[in-house]
Amino acid sequence: METTKTHAVHGGTLRYLKHDSATTGTPMTLSVFVPAGEGPFPVLIWLSGLTCTEDNFTTKAGAYKAAAVHGVIIVAPDTSPRGEGVADDPAYDLGQGAGFYVDATEAPWAPHFRMETYVADELIALIDGAFPTTKTRSIFGHSMGGHGALTLALRHPELFKSVSAFAPISSPTRCPWGKKAFKAYLGEDRAAWARHDAALLIEGGAAAGVFDDILVDQGDADSFLIDQLKPELLVAAAKKAGQGLTLRMQPGYDHSYFFMASFVDDHVAFHATRLKA
C-alpha cells in the first residue's frame, strides 16, 4: 500500500492509503487510524453511504478520540471502484460511489463492482498484514454502508465480533434505492436479492447466536426514513428470529454526519467491549 497522507490525531496516526486491488481490478483508497502504542489492536471497519469516499467518515465523524481511548484501529475504505474504464451511471445512487457492498453479476458492472469480496477478503487480509492487529474485527456503517455492515456481518459471521449501523437501508428488496441497485448489479433473480437483505437475513436466522445484540441508531427527522430506510423491518425480523437488536430512535436527528458525530462514541464503545471480551 502507498501512503498518500499522514496526520497525527488523538495521540495516534491517521493514514490515507492507496493500493491496486486484485478484487476490483482498480486502484482503491482507504484511511486507517492506529492508536498510540505497539498494539496489537482490534480493528473496526466503517462502511460509508451513497456518494461517499473514504474521506467523509475520516474528516466528519469524529471517531478517533474514542478509538484512541479504547485502543481500536479504524479502517474506512472507499464505497466503490473508480477510474477510467469502470462502469458508471449519471445518477447518484448507482455506479461509482454506490457499490452497495455486493459482488455484481451483471454487465457492465461485474468486472469491477465486487465490493463484498473486496471488504470481506482482500481488505481484511491487507490490514492484518500491514498493521499490528489482533486479527479480530467488527464492522459498522451508515445508510448504504449500514446495509453493507449488516449484510456482511450476517453473511460472514466468522469474520466479525459485532455489528452496528447508523440509518441503514434495512431491507433493500423493499425500497427504491435497493431495488434499483440490485436489479442493475444482480439481475432479475429476487432470490439473489434476498441474500443481501439484512431484514430477510435476520428473519431467516442468519448468524443466530453469534451476535448478542445489533445496535442501530436512526434519526426520526431523517428525510429517507419512511421510503428508503424502514428500520421497523429490522425490529420485526429480529423479534421473529429471536435475534438481539437495539433500535434507538434519536429525536430531531437527520441523515447527515452531524448525526453520526453525535453517537459514534457509543458505537465505538459497543464494539470495543465485544472485541476485547
SS3 10: coil
Q: Does residue 114 surpass a pLDDT of 90? A: yes
Give residues with Cβ within 8 angstroms of 119, minimum separation 6. Answer: 45, 47, 77, 101, 148, 152
pLDDT tens digit sequence for 33-63: 999 999 999 999 999 999 999 999 999 999 9
Mean pLDDT of the chain: 97
Q: What is the mean pLDDT of residues 115-122?
A: 98
Look at residues 189, 105, 95, 100 and name the one whose alpha carbon lies nearest to residue 143: 100
pLDDT tens digit sequence for 214-250: 999 999 999 999 999 999 999 999 999 999 999 999 9
pLDDT of residue 212: 96
Look at residues 59, 57, 152 and name the one whose alpha carbon lies nearest to residue 100: 152
Q: Catalytic residue among 143, 162, 164, 170, which?
A: 143
Q: What is the mean pLDDT of residues 114-133?
A: 98
Taking every pair of C-alpha atoms in the chain, what is the biggest distance, in angstroms?
50
Q: Catalytic residue among 112, 147, 196, 255, which?
A: 255
Torsion, Cα of 127, 245, 103, 173 (10° steps) = -160
d(CA 206, CA 158): 12
Catalytic (active site) residue 222: yes
Pair 12, 36: CB distance under 8 Å: yes
Look at residues 86, 20, 200 and name the one whose alpha carbon lies nearest to residue 99: 86
Catalytic (active site) residue 262: no
Torsion, Cα of 155, 191, 165, 235 (10° steps) = -110
Pair 171, 232: CB distance under 8 Å: no
d(CA 141, CA 107): 27
Q: Does residue 207 surpass a pLDDT of 90? A: no
Catalytic (active site) residue 147: no
| Residue carrying the nine cell digits 479502517 | 75
Please tell me the pTM assigned to this model: 0.97
